[in-house]
Structure 1
Amino acid sequence: MVSSPTRRALIGGGTALGLVGSGSAAVAEVPAHARYVIEQEALAFLRNTGAPGVSVAIARDGRLEYAGAFGISDLTGQRMTTDHQFRIASLSKPITATAIMRLVDRGQLSVGQRLFGPSGLLEGRYGPTYPALHGITVAHLMSHTGGGWINDGNDPTMIHFGVSQDEMIARTLAYAPLVAAPGSRQMYSNFGYCLLGRVIEQVTGESYETWVRREVLRPCGAEAMRIGSGQRGNREVAYIAASGGDPYGVDMPMLDANGGWIASPTELVRFLVKVDGYQSTADILRVDSSRFMATRPFPVADFGHGWTVNNRDNWWHTGILPGTSAFMCRTRSGFCFAALANTGGPGSDLPLLLDQMMFRMAGYVPGWNP
């Protein structure tokens, strides 16, 4: 689920916690009144939504300026902390897109390479493929223009639980035909990002999680992020479904590249400031590679190649699964922020409410204006 709200150009924040990716104790002054209002905004979110807990992080010009956690991490009443990790659902997609661009920057991959057919990156891995698939490129999958496998009631990544990921992919390629020519329409596809995970494995010779943690997340200072499982892990919140679905019935390893990661908001912000295209902190991608992820495949598209984008040069993504809601954004004015809640479910508007909450926090710190 991805929202496309009208966005302002910056956010606000609170207590400074040092430089992203370092142990520095550098401090920026945030007035007590601003901190108080930010905290009241978070508490109002909990009251109005019934969410057990919410956690947020804000960076400006590469600095982590504010991190706060509110409510409880589980129904035993354990207090939420900024160290707690959550399932981030589709916020996983910009991470996968970044991994693809790391390979492009290193000359190991081209976004124009095809997945199937003669010389296709994945040809033969999942059995014979039919000719319509042979036009799909890496860029098509990054921009949701692969031609099929829409995120709806027949989403293959969500209806084949109980089989292996390879079996799910093989069945989908064999029995779920494309509905449009590759590159002709934009249709949000979890399965397309699942395939990108397999491209990363094919090119690197390693598992998706192993390579991404070492080559993408470690340089960002976020290596503690991981692919989730059906069990609650160390530092992980408990999930309470808001609108149907069993949080612990979700096959997280199946969703790896399109929705399987677990992170704290602070870890997400550490990732964001390393891929935002700004010079305040050394990025892990070339500037043109970061910019490509935010470039639409055609003018009327909502998505770039990993991010939802708008005409104000804000990049963001939302995510939802039974028991979790997620939002992160990079703004045109040098801010990066993330917000996670431990409730959610199909049809929930919680990611949009997280979005709106973060932007309402924008005006609370004097001087943090566009």
Structure 2
Amino acid sequence: MAAVTVLAVAAGSAAAPPPGGEEPPGAAELREQLDDLVAEGAVGALVEVRDGRRVWRDTSGVAERDTQRAVPARGRFRVGSITKTFVATVVLQLAGEGRLRLDDPVEAWLPGAVPDGRRVTVRHLLGHTGGLYDYKRTLTVPPDPAFLDYRSRTWTPDELIGRAVAHPPTSAPPGTAYAYSNTGYLLLGRIIEEATGRPYAREIGRRIIRPLRLHATSLPGTYPRIRGPHMRGYVPVERAGGTPLVDFTEMNPSLFGASGEMISTAGDLDRFFAALLGGRLLPDHLLAEMRTPSFGGRTYGLGLAWKETACGVTVYGNDGDALTYQSWSFTTPDLRRHVTVALTPDHRAGLDDSVDALLDTAFCG
């Protein structure tokens, strides 16, 4: 399906689109790259580029297999690990309020939850240096058909954490290696609850979602559906005679919890990262902590990631993989340009390199 392009003006701007719908530099190449993503391994894809007050949106592919239904340019999607940046922001806000310290041991907040919890700190959890086994490695994964049993199952954070800590640490002592672990963010969700007396989702809502008016962003808990316009997501499942794609759009997101349950849109993610990097959510010293590599030369700090573009500009944000949805959202340091990409993979090929090329075009064009 041919790409569909929308040129708009961000809310609050009095300007009108130029006659003929003038496109930003690199728009033709972006459109071609988005179509290539679909040809390479996506059912549907969208991109949103914000440059100052101007917004350009493009879509390719279809919102649902075996239909001609267009991808909604402003549609919602599961953002996966971009959730972690929201969780990290709340943890850093609590540190700024003196309600916890980044060097607090996990044992002080969650006694007995983690072996050697006196040496694993909040900072380690934020930066993936705690050496905790990733609970996702204990789960059945596609194309095993048993994965479909997770569609309706409710998991508790403690259950998933328990599965992880039954395995030995990936490094010891804590702080001596980087190893991405979703388990750490389940623990951070629990620490937020202990520090505030409220669920982490409620704290994200009252501290970030409502103040920034992120009306299309939610933490659904156990609710399986995606409200509003959205692409449908799929997983490959082994069946007699092949491995077809099975619709897995509706699923119980407690499987991800604080490590990745959020649903959002490109516009809301752009607004969030602009507010975060613009200093509206954290004081300068804590934002600097977030932007400092958690280990060695890693491009990951305390819940925040960054990329070096082809034109030498470092962009900040995060990416997420919710299995049926993949997303990337990044912003230039001067907050002038924001780019978000989301797609529903068909699992034929990894698309990270192609998305990186698209981001280069969007930021450097």
Q: TM-score range by the shorter chain?
A: 0.7 to 0.9
| 1:357 alignment partner, SS class | helix
**How large is the RMSD of aligned CA atoms in angstroms?**
3.3
| 1:65 alignment partner, SS class | strand
Post-superposition offset of 1:271: 0.6
Q: How many residue pairs get matched?
A: 336
Alignment match, 2:133 = 149
Distance 1:73 1:112, change over 3 A: same
Alignment match, 1:121 = 109
Alignment match, 1:41 = 32
1:157–1:254 Cα contact (<8 Å) kept: no
Distance 1:25 1:261, change over 3 A: farther
Post-superposition offset of 1:58: 2.3
1:293–1:307 Cα contact (<8 Å) kept: yes
Residue 53 (1) aligns with residue 44 (2): yes
Aligned-residue sequence identity (percent) comes to 21
| 2:118 alignment partner, SS class | helix
Residue 239 (1) aligns with residue 196 (2): no
Post-superposition offset of 1:57: 1.9
C-alpha distance in structure 1 between counterparts of 2:188 and 2:140, whole Å: 15
Identify the range of structure 1 (154-163 vs 69-78) with the bigger mean alpha-carbon deviation.
154-163
Post-superposition offset of 1:344: 5.2
- TM-score by structure 2 length? 0.79
Residue 205 (1) aligns with residue 189 (2): no
Distance 1:299 1:82, change over 3 A: same
Residue 295 (1) aligns with residue 292 (2): yes
Deviation per CA, 1:105-149: give whole Å up to 9, x if none: 333222111211xxx11226x5xx54x222111110110001121
2:72–2:231 Cα contact (<8 Å) kept: no
List runs of 5+ in structure 2 lacking aligned partners: 238-242
Alignment match, 2:329 = 328
With CA pairs under 8 Å and 6+ residues apart, which has the higher RCO, 1 or 2? 1
Deviation per CA, 1:68-115: give whole Å up to 9, x if none: 333322234322223210111112111211121222233322211121
Q: Select the residue among 335, 338, 341 that pairs with 1:339.
A: 341
Alignment match, 1:230 = 224
Residue 304 (1) aligns with residue 292 (2): no
List runs of 5+ in structure 1 lacking aligned partners: 1-12, 365-370
Q: What amino acid does structure 2 have at the position aligned with 1:71?
A: G
1:14–1:38 Cα contact (<8 Å) kept: no
Q: What amino acid does structure 1 have at the position aligned with 2:232?
A: A
Distance 1:191 1:344, change over 3 A: farther
Distance 1:177 1:46, change over 3 A: closer
C-alpha distance in structure 1 between counterparts of 2:193 and 2:175, whole Å: 24
Identify the range of structure 1 (188-197 vs 240-249) with the bigger mean alpha-carbon deviation.
240-249
C-alpha distance in structure 2 between counterparts of 1:206 and 1:350, whole Å: 38
Deviation per CA, 1:295-352: give whole Å up to 9, x if none: 113433342111223576432422223321111112345332211012255x952244
Post-superposition offset of 1:173: 6.0
Q: What amino acid does structure 1 have at the position aligned with 2:265?
A: S
Q: Select the residue among 76, 79, 85 that pairs with 1:94.
A: 85
C-alpha distance in structure 2 between counterparts of 1:340 and 1:176, whole Å: 33
Residue 218 (1) aligns with residue 210 (2): yes
Deviation per CA, 1:1-46: give whole Å up to 9, x if none: xxxxxxxxxxxx983522xxx5444458683474851563355235
C-alpha distance in structure 2 between counterparts of 1:57 and 1:210, whole Å: 28
Post-superposition offset of 1:185: 0.8
Q: What amino acid does structure 2 have at the position aligned with 1:288?
A: H
Deviation per CA, 1:234-259: give whole Å up to 9, x if none: 32321133797863585412312211
C-alpha distance in structure 1 between counterparts of 2:218 and 2:141, whole Å: 19
C-alpha distance in structure 2 between counterparts of 1:354 and 1:107, whole Å: 40
Post-superposition offset of 1:231: 3.1
Identify the range of structure 1 (35-44 vs 253-262) with the bigger mean alpha-carbon deviation.
35-44
Alignment match, 2:273 = 272
C-alpha distance in structure 1 between counterparts of 2:228 and 2:6, whole Å: 27
Alignment match, 2:184 = 192
Alignment match, 1:73 = 63
Q: Select the residue among 269, 280, 286 that pairs with 1:283.
A: 280
Alignment match, 1:103 = 94
Residue 171 (1) aligns with residue 173 (2): no
1:6-21 map, 5 Å: 15-18=7-10
